[in-house]
Amino acid sequence: MTIETRSIEGIATPVSRIGLGTWAIGGWMWGGADDRNSIATLHGALERGINLIDTAPVYGFGHSEEVVGQALEDRRDQAVIATKLGLDWTDRGPRRNSTPQRIRQEIEDSLRRLRTDRIDLYQVHWPDPLVPIEETAAELEKLRREGKILAIGVSNYSPEQMDAFRREAPLASVQPPYNLFERAIEKDVLPYARRHGLAVLGYGALCRGLLSGRMKPDTTFGGDDLRTSDPKFRAPRFAQYLAAVEALGALARERHGKSVLALAIRWVLEQGPTIALWGARRPDQLNGIDEAFGWTLDEQDLKDIDALLAEHVKEPVGPEFMAPPARN
């Protein structure tokens, strides 16, 4: 398998165009964690050539970073680590906080948990409406000049917010939700990234497993699973999305001999300066990565995919339910 790569400004190592997302590895909102499986998954990703590892302190309230640090301690130079800042948490859950003081605390905590002396890509997880964007950017630029981080990114930012950020610091990437079912960034964020040379790390590339092809009408979720609060997984929308997945799978098989999962990832990679984040916490959940490379979707494929989505998904919804609150 030949892994597709791209560059991110400030990072010398080319990064794989599929990155391993580690939210589920933290356990919180995904039904618990199994560290042995998680470490095997991280090692398996590296062995397949997937060198971009995306994590965050809030994933398991530090646990995901700790597991990533343990797994990569003796393989640090094989990996490009992307983590985040700008959320803290109480017993009521996470909230936005991008003050300079919080940033200074977070960088030291993340470096310790990740068992490393630098973070390759440091991203603001969500914009904080109580802190001027320029103030957050200026603090991150100080960290970059100190050598604690190599490149700066943002997540869930609008073009206007990125403009403000770029007045104080160089911006290398943006991380929005992006998949076949959640495409709002095509109106603004994606064209902005193309104009300004930003890498786009699309999170939720498989739409929380919906595009894996493994879900059935009787699939259910319980406990703290994120999908219990996602309107896509409730009637009547769930049936609409499953019908779209079935139709997309038929197109993928008939035209390319591929799975719907491979189609979903390939589609993200066709959209420009994009990297697809692939969430996994068991080694078997890496199966299918190979299928995403070495082929393309043509113009007719893309038109027909859009038509299938319009035919089956009558009540589309975005990922807005995931946004954490601001501080009081």
Residue 6's alpha-carbon distances to 15, 49, 190, 236, 288, in angstroms, are: 6, 13, 16, 39, 20
Among residues 174, 178, 198, which one has the least CA distance to residue 186? 178
Q: Catalytic site residue 59? A: yes
Q: Return d(Cα 55, Cα 32) in angstroms, integer.
A: 16
Could you say which of 59, 192, 203, 241 is catalytic? 59
> Which amino acid would we find at residue 284?
D
The SS3 of residue 110 is helix
Q: Return d(Cα 82, Cα 52) in angstroms, integer.
A: 7
As beta bridge partners, residue 1 has none
Q: Return d(Cα 43, Cα 86) in angstroms, integer.
A: 28
Q: Return d(Cα 162, Cα 12) in angstroms, integer.
A: 23
As beta bridge partners, residue 279 has 21
Decide the pairing of beta strands 93-96 and 87-90: antiparallel
CA angle 136, 186, 316 (to 5 degrees): 105
CB-based contact 25:60 (threshold 8 Å) = yes
CB-based contact 241:313 (threshold 8 Å) = yes
Instruction: Quickly count: other Cβ atoms within 10 Å of residue 148's Cβ.
Output: 18
CB-based contact 137:107 (threshold 8 Å) = no
| Length of the chain measured in residues | 328
Residues annotated as catalytic are 59
